[in-house]
Amino acid sequence: MIAKSAADLINKQKEHFLISADQVANVFEKNHLDHAFLVLTKIGYSKIPVLDKDQHFKGLISLSMITESMLGLNGIDPSNLSQRQVCEVMQKDVPVITDNDSLEEVLHLLVDQPFLVVVDSENIFKGIITRRELMKAINYMVHELDKKYEVNLRENLS
């Protein structure tokens, strides 16, 4: 259980650590792999969300998933990138969070992923929470905690 004072201070930064959907690079599940390859190369992020045309979250695509799809018996063959779609190679088993998930759950999931996808109850993509942005909020919390709350060591209380 996270201390309420710490959770309150971190949650105060929520609007900063949630990167909203309109700021997040994405591709559509029906895009061809050559398009996704170009987007990933240009933006410099290793993995980005995949959506359908109604903004539902469908999965994640990375450069390595695309490279893997190019591997053939005779080495790398990029010729089928313009025929295959993102949905054929994307990662589908992705943990997602909603606004109702606790900070504890978010922290727990971020141990193993560099960012988390946020969706609403209809699975519409709302944005991402990155480890980096959450670290900034934690940094704020550890600097502000004893300015805003009285923090006592239990052994001093007895």
Closer residue to ligand AMP in complex, CB, 95/114? 114
Please report how close the Cβ of residue 15 comes to ligand AMP at its closest, in angstroms. 16
Measured from the CB atom, the residue of 24 and 50 that comes closer to ligand AMP is: 24
CB of 107 vs ligand AMP, minimal distance in Å: 15
86 vs 128, beta carbon nearer ligand AMP: 128
Q: Output the CA angle 137-142-146, nearest 5 degrees.
A: 130
CB 79: neighbour CB atoms within 10 A? 9
**Closest CB to ligand AMP among residues 9, 61:** 61
Binding-site ranges for ligand AMP (CB under 6 A)? 19, 23-25, 45-48, 114-115, 128, 130-132
Q: Which residue is nearest to ligand AMP (CB)?
A: 132
Residue 48 CA to residue 19 CA, distance in Å, equals 13
**Comparison of 65 and 128: residue with beta carbon closer to ligand AMP:** 128
Contacts of range 116-125, beta carbons closer than 8 Å, 24 or more positions apart: 117/49, 117/57, 117/60, 118/18, 119/57, 122/56, 123/56, 123/57, 123/96, 124/54, 124/55, 124/56, 124/57, 125/21, 125/24, 125/26, 125/49, 125/51, 125/55, 125/56, 125/57
Minimum CB separation of residue 18 from ligand AMP in Å reads 11
In the complex, minimum distance from the CB of residue 26 to ligand AMP, in angstroms, rounded to a whole number: 7
Q: Bridge partners of 127?
A: 20, 118
**Least distance CB 150 / ligand AMP (angstroms):** 33
User: Residue 119 pairs with which residues in a beta bridge?
Assistant: 125
